[in-house]
Amino acid sequence: MSKLRLNGVSKAYGATLALRRGDLEIAAGEVHVLMGSNGSGKSTLCKIIAGSVRPDGGQILINDKRVTISGPQAARAAGIGIFYQELSLASHRSVEENICLSALPVKAGLFIDRAAMKARAARYIALFSEVSGEGFHAEALVGNLRADQRQLVEIMKALASEAPILIFDEPTSALDRAQVDRFFEILRDLKGQGRGIIFISHRMDEITAIGDRVTIIRDGETIETLKLSETDPATVIRLMVGGASDMPAARSSAPAVVETGAQTAISVRSLSGKGFRDVSFEVAKGEILGLGGLHGQGQSALLRAIFGASTVSSGEVTIGGERYDAKSPRDAIRRGCAYVSGDRGRDGVISGRPIIENVTPIHYLRDRLMLARPSSLKNKAMPALEAMHTKFASLFHPINSLSGGNQQKVIIARWLIDRPDVLLLDDPTKGIDLQAKADLFALIRQLAAEGLGILLYSSEDAELLGNANRILVFNGGSVTRELTGDDRTRYNLYQAAYEAA
Amino acid sequence: MSSVTSFFKQPLVVALILIVALLYLGQSLSPGFASADQILRLLIVASLLGIVAAGQNVVILGGREGIDLSVGGVVSLSAIIAGNVMNGADGGILPAVLACLAAGAFFGLLNGLGVTLLRIPPLVMTLGMLGVLQGLLVVIRQGIPSGRAAPGLSAFVTQPLALGIPGIIWLWIVIGLFMAFMLNRTVFGHRIYAIGSNEHAAYMAGVPVRLMRIGLFMISGMFAAIAGLCLLGYSGSSFANVGEQYMLSSIIAVVFGGTSLAGGKGGYTGTMAGALLLVILQGILTTVNIDESGRQMVFGATLLLLMLFYGRGRAMRA
Amino acid sequence: MTSTATDISSPRSGGLRSWLERYPFLPALVILIVLLALNGLFSPNSLSYRSLTGLLSTYMALIMLAIAQTYVVSAGDIDLSAGATLSLVNVAIVVLMERWGGGAGAVLLALALGVLIGLACGLVNGLVVAALRLQAIVATFATSIFFTGLALYVMPVAGTPAPALFWRTYGGRLLGLPFVFYVLAALAVLLYFLSRTRIITELLAVGDDQQAAYQTGLPVVAVRIKGYLLCGLFSALAAFCLTGDTASGDPLVGGKMTLYSVAAVVLGGSALAGGWTTVVGSLLGALTIGLVNSLVFFMGTPSEWQNFVQGLAILIVLMAGVLAGRRARA
């Protein structure tokens, strides 16, 4: 008997078919990994199970009995708990309130039973007590917590549902190693209790560590289900990408040294600001400088400060030989900087507007345009979009009609219309599929070859190791080590990431 | 959904259908309602509302809960300023226009600064500004006479200018064309949508968000000022708080035009239809012989009914 | 252990922060005290027991209306028909009390019906905004026009007096203390109990992030409707206080009060976007508006300038309230 089964579930948003034919079978006592590129439909599938999206067709069976899930409350009642990728927390409520929010214990039908709520929340908070970090306690307002702590709260909230079927959609994206290890321990416990767990992640090492079976979804359709013990990463990736493609280009090594005599694209001296301290380096034209280390150690902060989106308290930046002082992104763009963010929802996508309006804003600024002529803009936009193999129906369709990965490609394309001098990449491949990643890095290496200076921060080691000529490893806001040449190994990267500054 | 149904669900189409329906209704309830003369009169009133609504539209499109509750006050103030500068002389028209634009821009600037620098929610800031304006009006009325419109202005607003249509309606048409051009074919217009949809993303793309937002409030102030000037031409002299009704009416016109109050979505053509729709509705209610209480109840209920067609929120479970 | 560069907040601001988190109405209280002091400066009489009681008695209605608005704002909505609801209940109870003889029984029965009318108005608003998903600002404006129409139907011309029993009780004393003090005390008790109910936390969670609240399994539509019901209830209570103070019925009395109620909420430091509100702050905000008006008067402002200065002063106090509130929430 399977705990959860989906047969032929489908969902269309207007003209876009998000899920064509979703099949899934979860057994009791397993961690079932769901893999697929962005836009493949796996998030939609999970949201359908959790009740927040209404399916167009198909069947859902729990314990082999057909059920209709009419909304999140019904899903709860049916025994389904979910961790949302975008988090479903109320930032002005406390940790314990958020954990118990879906079923606040009441006295006399009206008043919150604070004691019961505290006790209940405490059980789940205790599970992570050693790894939750400073400033984390039951009464803390969720909005005051760090990103990894907020993710922990969302995990606790999912666990608190005590549901026999649990869905975790990218639960580890902001967590550090210790937190992930603890979380996996808990998952193994739950497995032992006979629960069915769906686990979505983009990280191969995590998947192989915790998963039992894997189901691959591609273009809205379930392709295959495999036992992880009987397959290897290469096969899985091949199934995800489809067609006869080899390993993504990210695995190839980048040259250790850029040709000598190249001019400096950007030079940074003793720069300090919000989130980072005393950083110095030089990037030559044509060089890709990687920023490594654990998440949130100053890499993003540095990039944003250079781009003028965050404050600089001291130090000097020089671009093209001239003193550079950007007080806002507008200044930075005018001086030839480009910045691609990993958080496209917050920093990049102008949602609801047509694709062309999402590609042109930088061009307007660089060219000091006042009128927007569709025909001339089209001629500028198309090459940039095509360089990234962006898939879209028409330039005038809203950007929301595209999948996440393609949206990110559009955002990246906007920086390519006019050649920047310095390209700042802040985890640009977060949440996009493997094919798109490969396209992006091919493009980045080409831009480097054309003479741009590139700063690359990526939360995935493979991307750094595969593309950066040199790597600066950050910890606690400062650079602990610079890895060059043959020193660029995963081992060294980790070691430096844990070193004190 | 078939393309036919989605065509008919567009706010503009709905508005036009309703306009025709209401004209028909008006005509049957009170013959002569839809006569050429009456329609022109309705169009003049709609133009006045439409001009105010243009400024409101732009502020709302800019997002961040953008709204301008002070337009009524600016309209009233502008009418008084215009009347006094003109004082019944045609030569005074140009100075009056400049004075009104300056006043509108000034209060718009204050609104914009409060919203961008002090980050006060627009609802609150423009509300406070309205209170200040209303107080100012009391002061001004004590001191100076209400002034008179120049005959040229009155003629512009009430007499036919070309093709039998008064100048103000032509002005409204020109404004409509200008708005369509500005919103769709200029960088400024695209930027308005950008800051309305995702202000942070616009900021990261180098859009001068603060300056733009101040500009939007100044535009709203200036449009309201022009409307006040024309209103003077319509009524001959200004009287107490003549602009008060324009505040919520302009917001409703914008909503009926399909612009979302959340910003980033919509356009002006729909607002023009919305303004016309509202004016016809109010016209019908005035001609029909029911007492004030009935009029208000019907108006309120009709507004609610019409809102069912326009910009209903998204369902939680898509 | 070296402090990391990623440490953003300094200990001192942390202390003030946690104060503001526990007592979010502090900025509003400070503003109120400043205004009391200024009032006392210009007219020592204004701080007398009698004056303050008079102030409370007059502004009790706005206090209730501001509290009504606060509950709706908690969920991220707004109610621009609060004043119209107040007017409707006002004329309804006056007419009923008059029709039924004006005795104690009539009064109590009328009050009970007043509460029902308030709840009904709240229900209409809730259905229109939450269930039919119309935009709150324009939808509640439309309902306000409708309710005003109803009020005009009940009492086409203002002026019907309230029975003496009613306003004498409201303006009188009970066991040596002014009646309004008891009203205030009862209100405080009611607010305390409400703050501990589940519905308040749910309203705030919905206001914080509606989508997240939905995904968490909260019945978002029902919660928002309850917010409007609370608003309707307190609007009715506001009407009772107003009737006690003006001793008559007026179908248009609530018109200006709606916007003042929103101003009071903002003054008190609550976030208009929802998720973070303070009813005590709104209470203080309402009193602040009253004090501003009286201050302008006592300052000796020429009568024609009074409106302007009041408007300006309210704008300044609004700014202060927003800035202080943001500090507390940030």
Inform me whether the C-beta atom of residue B215 falls under 8 Å from chain A C-beta atoms.
Answer: no
Helices (H), A161-242: 177-192, 204-210, 233-241
> C238 to chain B, minimum CA–CA distance in Å?
22
Is A426:A339 a contact under the CB 8 Å cutoff? yes
Determine which of A49, A85, A88 to mutate to test the interface with C (most C C-beta atoms within 10 Å): A88
Q: Is the CA virtual torsion B33, B34, B36, B40 positive or negative? A: positive
Inform me whether the C-beta atom of residue C216 falls under 8 Å from chain B C-beta atoms.
Answer: no
CB–CB contact C315 B132 (8 Å):
yes
Chain A environment of B186 (Cβ under 8 Å): 370-372
Chain A environment of B207 (Cβ under 8 Å): 330, 361, 365
CB–CB contact A91 C213 (8 Å):
no
CB–CB contact B201 A414 (8 Å):
no
Query: With 60 as the cut, is the pLDDT of residue C4 above it?
Result: no
The pTM for the full model equals 0.84
In single-letter form, the type of residue at position C113 comes to: L
Query: With 90 as the cut, is the pLDDT of residue B145 above it?
Result: no
| Averaged pLDDT, C118-132 | 96
| Averaged pLDDT, B277-286 | 88
CB–CB contact B190 A347 (8 Å):
no
Determine which of C193, C195, C198 to mutate to test the interface with A (most A C-beta atoms within 10 Å): C198
Residue C11, pLDDT score? 38
User: Residue C260's closest CA among C85, C140, C83?
Assistant: C83
Residue B146, pLDDT score? 67
* Option in B138, B260, B313 nearest C133 (CB): B313
Please report which confidence band the pLDDT of residue B315 belongs to, taking 50, 70 and 90 as the band edges: confident
> C176 to chain B, minimum CA–CA distance in Å?
40
Residue in chain A nearest C3 by alpha carbon: A476
For the stretch B165-223, pLDDT in tens is: 888 999 999 999 999 999 999 999 999 999 999 999 999 999 999 999 999 999 999 99
For the stretch A135-157, pLDDT in tens is: 899 999 998 898 889 999 999 99
Helices (H), chain B: 3-8, 11-29, 36-61, 71-86, 93-116, 122-143, 151-158, 167-185, 187-197, 199-204, 209-235, 246-256, 268-287, 292-307
Helices (H), A137-203: 147-160, 177-192
| Averaged pLDDT, B255-276 | 85
**Helices and strands in chain A, H and E counts:** 18, 22
* Option in B123, B139, B308 nearest C272 (CB): B123
Residue with the bigger pLDDT between A484 and C118: it is C118
Radius of gyration of chain A (CA): 24
Is A198:A166 a contact under the CB 8 Å cutoff? yes
Chain B environment of A352 (Cβ under 8 Å): 197, 264-265
The subunits that touch chain C, with at least 3 C-beta pairs less than 8 Å apart, are A, B
Inform me whether the C-beta atom of residue B144 falls under 8 Å from chain C C-beta atoms.
Answer: no
> C111 to chain B, minimum CA–CA distance in Å?
24
For the stretch C72-102, pLDDT in tens is: 999 999 999 999 999 999 999 999 998 888 7
* Option in A309, A353, A371 nearest B185 (CB): A371
> B221 to chain C, minimum CA–CA distance in Å?
18
Residue with the bigger pLDDT between A400 and C203: it is C203
Inform me whether the C-beta atom of residue C142 falls under 8 Å from chain B C-beta atoms.
Answer: yes
DSSP one-letter string for A391-417: --S-TTSBGGGS-HHHHHHHHHHTTTS
Lowest mean pLDDT among B2-6, C171-175, C197-201, C279-283: B2-6
> How many Å apart are CA C251 and CA C238, to the nearest integer?
14
Size of interface B-C (CB pairs under 8 A): 151
- Between residues 296 and 325 of chain A, which touch chain B (CB distance below 8 Å)? 307, 309
What stretch of H or E contains A283? strand A276-284
Give me chain A's average pLDDT, please: 86
CB–CB contact B190 A364 (8 Å):
yes
Determine which of B182, B204, B212, B259 to mutate to test the interface with A (most A C-beta atoms within 10 Å): B204
* Option in A71, A330, A350 nearest B198 (CB): A350
What stretch of H or E contains A196? strand A196-200
For the stretch C160-188, pLDDT in tens is: 888 888 888 888 888 888 899 999 999 99
> C153 to chain B, minimum CA–CA distance in Å?
5
Per-residue pLDDT in tens (0 to 9) along chain A, 501 residues: 678 999 999 998 776 788 989 999 999 999 999 987 656 788 889 999 999 899 999 999 999 899 999 999 999 999 999 999 888 999 999 999 999 998 899 988 889 999 999 999 999 999 999 888 888 999 999 988 988 899 999 999 999 999 999 999 889 877 888 999 999 999 999 999 999 999 998 677 888 899 999 999 887 888 889 998 888 877 887 777 665 444 343 333 566 665 555 788 899 999 999 889 999 999 999 899 999 887 777 899 999 999 999 889 999 999 988 888 888 999 999 999 999 988 888 888 888 888 988 988 888 888 888 888 888 888 888 888 888 778 788 888 888 888 777 888 888 889 988 889 999 999 888 767 777 788 888 888 888 888 889 999 987 778 888 889 999 998 878 898 898 888 888 777 777 776 654
Give me chain B's average pLDDT, please: 87
Inform me whether the C-beta atom of residue C303 falls under 8 Å from chain B C-beta atoms.
Answer: no
User: Residue C293's closest CA among C275, C276, C308, C278?
Assistant: C308
ipTM, two decimals, is: 0.84
CB–CB contact A476 C276 (8 Å):
no
CB–CB contact A349 B205 (8 Å):
no
| Per-position b or e across A258-273, b if 16+ CB within 10 A of its CB | beeeeeebbbbeebbb
* A122 phi/psi in degrees, rounded to 5: -60, -35
Please report which confidence band the pLDDT of residue B16 belongs to, taking 50, 70 and 90 as the band edges: confident
Partners of residue A107 on adjacent β-strands: A111
* Paired tokens of A140: 């803390």
